[in-house]
A and B are shown apart, each in its own frame.
Chain A
Amino acid sequence: MKKSFSVLSLALLALGFSAFTPGNKPVKNIAVNTAGAVVPDPDNAGLKLPAGFGALKVAEGLGKTRHIVVNAQGDVYAKIMGKVAEGKGILKLHDANGDGKSDETTGMGNYGGTGITIKNGYLYASSDEEVFRYKISEKGDVIDPSKAEKIITGLKKGNQHETKSITLDNAGNIYVNIGAYSNSCQELDRKPGSMGRMPCPILDSAGGIWQFKADKLNQSYGEGVRYATGLRNVVGLDWNTQLDQLFVMMHGRDDLHNLFPDLYTEKDNAELPAETMFALKKGDNAGWPYTYYDPAQHKKMVAPEYGGDGKKEGSKEYIDPIMAFPAHMAPNGLLFYTGNQFPARYKNGAFIAFHGSWNRAPLPQEGYYVVFVPFENGKPTGKWEVFANGFSGMETGVTPRSAQHRPCGLAQGPDGSLYVSDDSKGSIYRIIYNGK
């Protein structure tokens, strides 16, 4: 299989390459850049897209680019995760000649992290324990990078699910995901047979979304509100301005078979539970760690750590997801599209960046793409479609290490372009519509 894929990609590459060989002149119909025109890369930056869409790489090799945001003049701000060099925690990409490619990268901030967004004249960015904000100019430039206002501090950070994603509503509040530092709140995390702690003590300070004031300094748990609980880990989240409601994508639990081999098969391990989308209201409880969502039965089930056996239905006190996706695909970015560049059916629908699975063995790994979920009358239609694929660069046999790129963050540009970050090789993609 590997061989045939190599041959195929070789042929594809040779084709792409030969398009450029005659006198190094691009063939017609592959658009040539004139000043001020944004055109797709000849190979659409390696992505497969629906008809009429094209893609270009804005930049690459930036590091672990997690969430991204685009300011009013089209500059991209990207949050970098992990250890960062001094002044490189947030990268700003500026396109000087209007061809869509970044010509100038500048950095600021000394902390690694995932969350970044712009709202009401401020750029907000998170470390794994804090949230900062910076005043921006009308054009969207951070006025003084040294003037970071620490608005939230002292958030729980464990050895897993430690990233803090952020979004803001239109009423001056900021929402922060505080992931549960556990898979399923077992006495011994990821230990086969270990039962769940009751009640799960993690939920007092993690495993949910917290609400804080967007403009108040040094807030911590005392000043915040646990807005929604029972959410194992959320990375992709967005405030839907049309519905004025918070939407989140939850990473479902792992290891049903590995931990409870008598109750779940290896196939169950791969296909359960669903990755889920929730529309949240204040006070909601999504059920983690007591329940998980079975996409085949369309039901919440009691987790085996709490007496479940794959058949026992979970309590009605927990909310249902509004959408279920295949297990373990790792939704890391969520964006409601409000632009006018894409065809009308995309407006107010949701894009989701699936980072790609690692625990679907013995089945093939899944994800590594951006999907689109159409919405009608403020509700998902129940269908979803792969919108941008090809990030991994592999047809089959993808693993987290072998994937060339892994989609993570999403952002919308002022012209309605969709931006996607890759936190594996640090590429930033821009997807544009050039159809009729």
Chain B
Amino acid sequence: MKKILGPIALMVLLMSFQTAPKKAAQVTKPAVKSVVTTANPAASIERGKAVYLSQCLSCHQVDGGGVPHLNAPLDGATAVVGKDKAKIISIVLKGMTDRVEIDGEFYSNNMAPHKELTDQQIADVLTYVRNSWTNKASAVTPAEVKAVRAKIK
């Protein structure tokens, strides 16, 4: 078993080594291109990153991977990159106290509401999250956040 594992691990590592630099380049360029719905998506992503660092990173982590069993992952999560933007906007505004199942794993840590963030900040951070790591999805606009916020109130 060990003998087989050795070469496989070696191959996997070799592959990851070769693709790593390419991958890093991909994250910035095409991701920005694919976002065409806001006036200046690159600026929105940049601003969103700052919001992420101060508001989200401590739980959802620098790699968007969350914490197994506690904090939901954002990278590769269908709900995050899905079409139903209202749902994720609402989670940011209202927080989350439910135990949720994502890909067979339960996440149960409480998330505080973030309704003190402006429509622009929420749009920015969600646009950032939807276009970071392996995620690639359309931008979220302040108008979309405003509409959801109005319904919550």
Interface positions of A (Cβ within 8 A of B): 2-3, 6-7, 9-10, 13-14, 16-17, 20, 24, 41-42, 81-83, 159-160, 162, 183, 188-192, 255, 258, 269, 358-359, 361, 397, 399-402, 424
Contacts and interface: CB of A to CB of B under 8 A. Distances in A.
A402 B112 contact: no
A389 B49 CA distance: 33
B39 interface: no
Contacts of B112: 188, 190-192
A42 B14 CA distance: 21
Contacts of A159: 97, 99, 108-110
Given A6-B17, A13-B13, A400-B68, A42 B108 contact: no
B90 to A, nearest CB: 17
A173 B19 CA distance: 57
Contacts of B99: 159
Nearest to A6: B17
Q: For chain A, what secondary structure do more than half of its interface residues adopt (helix, strand, loop), or is it mixed? A: loop
A359 B73 contact: no
B58 A191 contact: no
Interface in B94-153: 95, 97, 99, 104-106, 108-113
B65 A402 contact: yes
A358 B61 contact: yes
A258 B59 CA distance: 10
Contacts of A162: 108
B20 interface: yes
Contacts of B65: 399-402
A337 to B, nearest CB: 28
A190 B10 contact: no
7 contacts: A3-B20, A41-B2, A159-B108, A159-B109, A183-B110, A361-B61, A400-B67
Nearest to B111: A190
B17 A7 contact: yes
Contacts of A17: 6-7, 10
B36 interface: no
Contacts of B71: 358
Contacts of A400: 61, 65-68
Given A41-B2, A269-B58, A400-B67, A160 B110 contact: yes
B63 A255 contact: no
Contacts, number: 91
A401 B97 contact: no
Nearest to A10: B13
B25 interface: no
Nearest to B95: A191
B51 interface: no
Contact of B58 (A10, A81, A361): A361
Contacts of A42: 2
A57 to B, nearest CB: 9
Nearest to B6: A17
Which of B7, B13, B113 counts the most chain A CB atoms within 10 A?
Answer: B13
Which of B69, B106, B113 counts the most chain A CB atoms within 10 A?
Answer: B69
A86 B20 CA distance: 41
Which of A20, A24, A159, A191 counts the most chain B CB atoms within 10 A?
Answer: A159
A16 B9 CA distance: 11
B20 to A, nearest CB: 6
B62 interface: yes
B70 interface: yes
Contact of A358 (B3, B67, B95, B105): B67
Contacts of B78: none
Contacts of B58: 255, 258, 269, 359, 361
Contact of A160 (B2, B10, B20, B70): B70
Contacts of A41: 2
Nearest to B7: A17
Given A189-B110, A358-B71, A399 B13 contact: no
Contacts of B110: 159-160, 183, 189-190
